[in-house]
Amino acid sequence: MDKINISQIGLGYWGPNLLRNVISNERCNLISVVDKSEDRLEYAKNQYPDVDVSTEIRYTMEDQNVDAIIIATPATTHFDIAIEAMKCGKHVLVEKPMAMSVREVEEIEKLSNENNLVAMAGHTFLYNNAVQFTKKLIDSGDIGEIRYIYSQRVNLGRIRTDVNAMWNLAPHDISIIQYWLNNQDPINVQSYGMDYMQEEVDDVTFINIEYPNKVMANIHVSWLDPVKIRRITIVGSEKMVVYDDVAENKITIYDKGIDKLFEKGTSEYMEDYGLYRTVNFNHRFGDIILPKIDWKEPLNAEIDHFVDCIMNGKKCLTGTKHAKNVVKILEWATNGSNNK
């Protein structure tokens, strides 16, 4: 197989970026686009005259020439379209979240395994060189033990009606944090959100996640904030890291921290007094490092990885296992109970 024949279903907000990266990939052949909107299909035809367009999903499902389908429709439709596509023998790349429940992701996973088909979630940030650089930094032990992580993904942005701000925005940060923490299972997940613009559609949410070994994560998402912020801070026992996707320098490493010092000849626990006694704290202040991160469009790397998984059997970085972990946390945050 020299090229993968791809069809894309959905050409909304994110769809044109996917089309552009599929077209630019030498191992992809974009043969059709499906969308309910005639205007969006007209856009696709104007940009890519050789690509077939249709308003009917069955058009691409029944096309024997199609090897893989990219699904970029509203989140609530991902599961049904992915299942139908795989039943027709197609590999699938599904925009985040892969589905709206763990049960649905597990059904996708089962069908993928039974039919030897790639089922990949579009968690694009995991293909960002800055995110991958941070992962290597954590794995090297250079920042010490992770104490806590907090993120902000806020903006005065596009308001969705099909999903709330948490299901729209938080998958990015959950995906990144899970990747950095080697897909650890949380101990507890709590969330608090509020609806201002539409009844029962939260515009802002704060998520607290507790992991083993006293690691905490806090995620703040909103589409009502005045300033666009895309930042994640990691506080380690040795160093601290800020990943800022909006800044020119995506990664900043702070060689600083606080160490506990104890009185010579004494232990941390003083039996005579029945308490812990810390004599002093040492504040460390070292260099601030701005590492050079080579830029490659993450979506380009994601499409390339999807092709590698199909053509070369490469293990999928954002396959059903990762997708399931992300949806599990979202579902837990939504329902307030552990959905193991």
Averaged over 277-285, what is the pLDDT?
A: 75
**pLDDT attached to residue 99:** 98
**pLDDT attached to residue 269:** 54
Which residues span the domain enclosing 44? 4-124+299-314
Taking all residues of the chain, what is their mean pLDDT, rounded to a whole number? 93
**pLDDT attached to residue 176:** 98
> Whole-prediction pTM value?
0.92
* 111 and 233 housed in the same domain: no
Residue 331 inside a domain? The answer is no
Residue 323 inside a domain? The answer is no
Residue 238 inside a domain? The answer is yes
The CATH number assigned to the domain holding 43 equals 3.40.50.720
Closest to 191 (Cα-Cα) out of 325, 324, 331: 331
* 278 and 151 housed in the same domain: yes
Q: Using pLDDT thresholds of 50, 70 and 90, give the confidence band for residue 70.
A: very high
The CATH number assigned to the domain holding 281 equals 3.30.360.10
Structure confidence by residue, pLDDT tens digits, 3-38: 999 999 999 999 999 999 999 999 999 999 999 999
Averaged over 238-251, what is the pLDDT?
A: 97
Q: Using pLDDT thresholds of 50, 70 and 90, give the confidence band for residue 339.
A: very low
* 239 and 99 housed in the same domain: no
* 276 and 140 housed in the same domain: yes
**pLDDT attached to residue 283:** 87
* 41 and 144 housed in the same domain: no
* 149 and 83 housed in the same domain: no
Q: Using pLDDT thresholds of 50, 70 and 90, give the confidence band for residue 263.
A: low
Residue 107 inside a domain? The answer is yes
**pLDDT attached to residue 274:** 54
Structure confidence by residue, pLDDT tens digits, 292-334: 999 899 999 999 999 999 999 999 999 999 999 999 999 999 9
Q: Is the pLDDT of residue 150 over 90?
A: yes
* 49 and 63 housed in the same domain: yes
Residue 290 inside a domain? The answer is yes
* 281 and 178 housed in the same domain: yes
Residue 131 inside a domain? The answer is yes
* 9 and 104 housed in the same domain: yes
Averaged over 200-218, what is the pLDDT?
A: 97
For the chain, how many structural domains are there in total?
Answer: 2
Averaged over 66-91, what is the pLDDT?
A: 97
* 111 and 163 housed in the same domain: no
**pLDDT attached to residue 157:** 86
* 46 and 62 housed in the same domain: yes
Q: Is the pLDDT of residue 158 over 60?
A: yes
